[in-house]
Structure 1
Amino acid sequence: MSSTDPDVLLGPADIRALAARLGVRPTKQRGQNFVIDANTVRRIVRTAGVRPEDVVVEVGPGLGSLTLALLEAADRVTAVEIDDVLAAALPATVEARLPHRADHFALVHHDALRVTELPGPAPTALVANLPYNVAVPVLLHMLGRFPTIERTLVMVQAEVADRLAAPPGSKVYGVPSVKAAWYAHVKRAGAIGRNVFWPAPNVDSGLVSLIRRDEPLRTTATREEVFAVVDAAFAQRRKTLRAALAGWAGSAGAAEEALKAAGVSPQARGESLTVEDFAAIAEHGPAAS
């Protein structure tokens, strides 16, 4: 596979011309900010460590900036796009820019939160500039639905990137941090400036790398049971776990029993616990009794 030809990728003028031809204006409702800088998409592909044998799924491809760079680097790319106009236009963009790779591209015109299957071989990587308004739900849905995704690199709002990668004890550690850690080892992988987007967002962006755990977390509790504990623990952050988990357990006394059985202090707060701690609590919760 050849290295990315600069003429293949979409620059600012290409993006604006394509959008004008399609009558597309990026909408806040769908969190659309199109990447207009070729160097940025090259950097994303490079940081993601995309391999020639990879089957990459991309969510929210928009006009195709990142799609084209991914197609040059991976074996196959499947793009999931909800927007009617963008979904209709993307295959033609791929055909025009990368005709020799067009048969390695597939489009799924659907809401990523409702996707339950993808065409072709199982995906091995997820690389995407996620729509900022649904970034965390989409990320967690894709990781949960497609266990063959080994490596993920997503561009999200900087604040969300910080939350996803936050360790226990951090001020921004919360539900996204724990749920992402259930699936993967998570870390910040860089910052992205505002001027590489059209329109330029009012927030900074960040890259987040997620490498799936070699083995699932060892617990007898299900993912749903663990996530229920996580949601309850962070619903009222200022409360101790004994109080925060009272509704989940049935009473404050039952919550205290589950916490003690899991080796967790009833006076602790959710932001101090690891995903393993939450799993241990779930094992001793109402579903286990």
Structure 2
Amino acid sequence: MGDSKGLLGPADVRELAARLGVRPTKALGQNFVIDANTVRRIVRSAGLAPDDVVIEVGPGLGSLTLALLPEARRVVAVEIDPVLAAELPATAAAREPDLAGRLEVVHADAMRITDVPGPAPTALVANLPYNVAVPVVLNLLAALPSLRTALVMVQAEVADRMTAAPGSKIYGVPSVKLAWYGDARRAGPVGRAVFWPAPNVDSGLVAFTRREPPATSATREAVFAVVDAAFAQRRKTLRAALAGWAGSAPEAENALRTAGVDPRARGEALDVAAFARIAEYGRAGRGR
């Protein structure tokens, strides 16, 4: 597999995949990073501290995992593919023998994770499968309140949606729900050539810092129900879009006016705090 220690290069990745009989699949969103400079850039952008406990989703053959091990106290790698999950500890032991003890591999679906073994994770760093990137991030932020930061690589279009601000045409459900947990920003583009196989779209890095959610008596579930309803018919005014959620258009208008929101506005104009106020004053927010 090339050098006995260090990061994986293109030949290492292909050789390891061939030995394991692994063929990257679109179903699992598998595009393996083959460029060492890219993984170094990801780790550098993550700004990890020596005492951080990192959770990595979709480690694949271990390209990013190997770069994370020297920078964190512990790396918890969540891998859904049983063949890749079984091989990752051996790869770490072969290439970073002095650091392999920091690695914990969890064979699981990251969208169903409710907890992880050992110390509570403080940072999420991952090259996320394109098809499940947003639900994975949202699930982990909900399930692991210890997570304070994240640096994820996702499809460029998804990165734009995750970091969009109110008023933007691409502002929507991912933007608002991520904003409930904290602040997200674009942290740079990633080209297609750093992957094997090369995807037909560009990628982007998203950096995230957790903060307290908006002050509200409504639950997160209640707020997210308003968000889902508002963007299910995003061309409609909020009075019309929230009619089903509130029970009727007049009740939706009452909740909106009580929350200080123009009933003629559309969801794309509101920040997460406004959605929280609507949930608080609406039928769902009051639990009626």
TM-score exceeds 0.5: yes
Residue ranges of structure 1 left out of the alignment (5+ in a row):
none
Q: Does 1:249 align with 2:246?
A: yes
Residue in 1 that maps onto 2:165: 167
Q: Does 1:117 align with 2:115?
A: yes
Instruction: Tell me how far apart the structure 2 counterparts of residues 182 and 74 of structure 1 sit (CA, whole Å).
Output: 27
Equivalent residue letter for 1:116: T
- Residue pairs, 1:70-81, within 5 angstroms: 70-81=68-79
Instruction: Tell me how far apart the structure 2 counterparts of residues 72 and 15 of structure 1 sit (CA, whole Å).
Output: 20
Residue in 2 that maps onto 1:219: 216
| Aligned partners of 2:5 and 2:96 also within 8 Å | no
Shift of 1:6: 10
Equivalent residue letter for 1:242: R
- Residue pairs, 1:255-274, within 5 angstroms: 255-274=252-271
Instruction: Tell me how far apart the structure 2 counterparts of residues 6 and 286 of structure 1 sit (CA, whole Å).
Output: 62
Deviations for 1:52-85, whole angstroms, at most 9, x for unmatched residues? 1110000000000000000011110000000011
Residue in 1 that maps onto 2:185: 187
Residue in 1 that maps onto 2:200: 202
Equivalent residue letter for 2:257: K
Name the SS for the 1:24 alignment partner. coil
Identity of aligned residues (%): 72
* Structure 1 segments (4+ residues) deviating >3 Å: none
Equivalent residue letter for 1:77: V
Shift of 1:216: 3.0
Equivalent residue letter for 2:163: A
Shift of 1:254: 0.5
Instruction: Tell me how far apart the structure 2 counterparts of residues 84 and 197 of structure 1 sit (CA, whole Å).
Output: 21
| Aligned partners of 2:4 and 2:95 also within 8 Å | no
Instruction: Tell me how far apart the structure 2 counterparts of residues 131 and 212 of structure 1 sit (CA, whole Å).
Output: 22
Instruction: Tell me how far apart the structure 2 counterparts of residues 148 and 7 of structure 1 sit (CA, whole Å).
Output: 32
Residue in 2 that maps onto 1:231: 228
Instruction: Tell me how far apart the structure 2 counterparts of residues 124 and 247 of structure 1 sit (CA, whole Å).
Output: 39
Instruction: Tell me how far apart the structure 2 counterparts of residues 216 and 276 of structure 1 sit (CA, whole Å).
Output: 8
Instruction: Tell me how far apart the structure 2 counterparts of residues 280 and 171 of structure 1 sit (CA, whole Å).
Output: 23
Equivalent residue letter for 1:65: S
Shift of 1:127: 0.3
Residue in 1 that maps onto 2:143: 145
Residue ranges of structure 2 left out of the alignment (5+ in a row):
none
Matched length: 284
Instruction: Tell me how far apart the structure 2 counterparts of residues 63 and 76 of structure 1 sit (CA, whole Å).
Output: 18
